[in-house]
Chain A
Amino acid sequence: MAVLLTKKSRVLVQGITGHQGQFHTRAMLDFGTKVVAGVTPGKGGTRIEGVPVFDSVREAILRRKANASIIFVPAPYAKDAGIEAIEAGLKLIVIITERIPFHDCLEIMPFARSRGCTVIGPNCPGLATPGQAKMGIIPNFIFKEGDAGVISRSGTLTYEIVNAMTEAGFGQSTCIGIGGDPIIGTSMVEALAMFQKDRKTKRIVVVGEIGGTAEEEAAQFINAHVTKPVVAYVAGRTAPPGKRMGHAGAIIEAGKGTAESKVKAFGEAGVPVAEYPGDVPKLLATA
Chain B
Amino acid sequence: MKFLEHKAKEIFARYGIPVPRGIVASRAEEIASPPLPCMVKAQVLVGGRGKAGGIRPAETMDEARVVAREILGLDIHGYKVKQVYLEERLDIAKELYLSLTIDRSAREPLLMASSMGGMEIEAVPRDQLFMEHVPAVVGIQPYVLRGLTKHLGLSADIGDQVAAVVRQCYDVFRKEDAELVEINPLVVTKAGKVIAGDAKLVIDDNAEYRHPEYAKLDQDRTPLEQEAHDKGITFIQLDGDIGVIANGAGLTMATLDILNLKGGKGGTFLDLGGTDDPAKVKQAFELLIKANPSVILLNIFGGITKADTVALGVKQALAEMHTKIPVVARIKGVNEAQAKEMLRSIGMYAVGTAEEAAEVAVRVKSRGP
**A76–B250 touching, CB < 8 Å:** no
Instruction: Closest B residue to A243 by CB, please name it.
Output: B236
A277 within 8 A of B: yes
**B107–A209 touching, CB < 8 Å:** no
Residues of B within 8 A of A248 (CB): 204-206
Known: A137-B303, A235-B253. A182 touches B354 (CB 8 A): no
Instruction: Closest B residue to A257 by CB, please name it.
Output: B104
**B254–A235 touching, CB < 8 Å:** yes
B266 within 8 A of A: yes
**B252–A246 touching, CB < 8 Å:** yes
Residues of B within 8 A of A109 (CB): 107
A46 within 8 A of B: no
Interface string of A227-263 (1 = CB under 8 A from B): 0000001011111100111111110001000000000
Instruction: Closest A residue to B237 by CB, please name it.
Output: A243
Known: A103-B136, A157-B254, A238-B266. A23 touches B304 (CB 8 A): yes
Min Cβ gap A151→B in Å is 13
Residues of A within 8 A of B135 (CB): 106, 110
Residues of B within 8 A of A101 (CB): 177, 204, 206-207, 210
Q: Which of B15-23, B147-155, B182-190, B255-263 contacts A (4 or more CB under 8 A)?
A: B255-263
CB < 8 Å neighbour of A142 from B238, B248, B259, B303: B303
Residues of A within 8 A of B239 (CB): 240
**A278–B353 touching, CB < 8 Å:** yes
CB < 8 Å neighbour of B102 from A180, A182, A254: A182
Within 8 A of B (CB), among A178-213: 180, 182-184, 187, 207, 209-210, 212-213
Size of interface on B: residues with Cβ below 8 Å to A: 49
Residues of B within 8 A of A209 (CB): 249-250, 253
What's the Cα separation between A75 and B321 when bound, in Å? 35
Min Cβ gap B138→A in Å is 9
Within 8 A of B (CB), among A79-101: 99-101
What's the Cα separation between A212 and B251 when bound, in Å? 18
Instruction: Closest B residue to A248 by CB, please name it.
Output: B206
Chain A residues close to B by CB (< 8 Å): 23, 27, 75-76, 99-103, 106-107, 109-111, 137-142, 152-160, 163, 180, 182-184, 187, 207, 209-210, 212-214, 217, 233, 235-240, 243-250, 254, 275-278
Known: A102-B102, A106-B108, A276-B258. 10 other contacts (CB 8 A): A101-B207, A107-B137, A153-B250, A154-B249, A157-B250, A209-B249, A214-B104, A236-B253, A243-B238, A246-B252
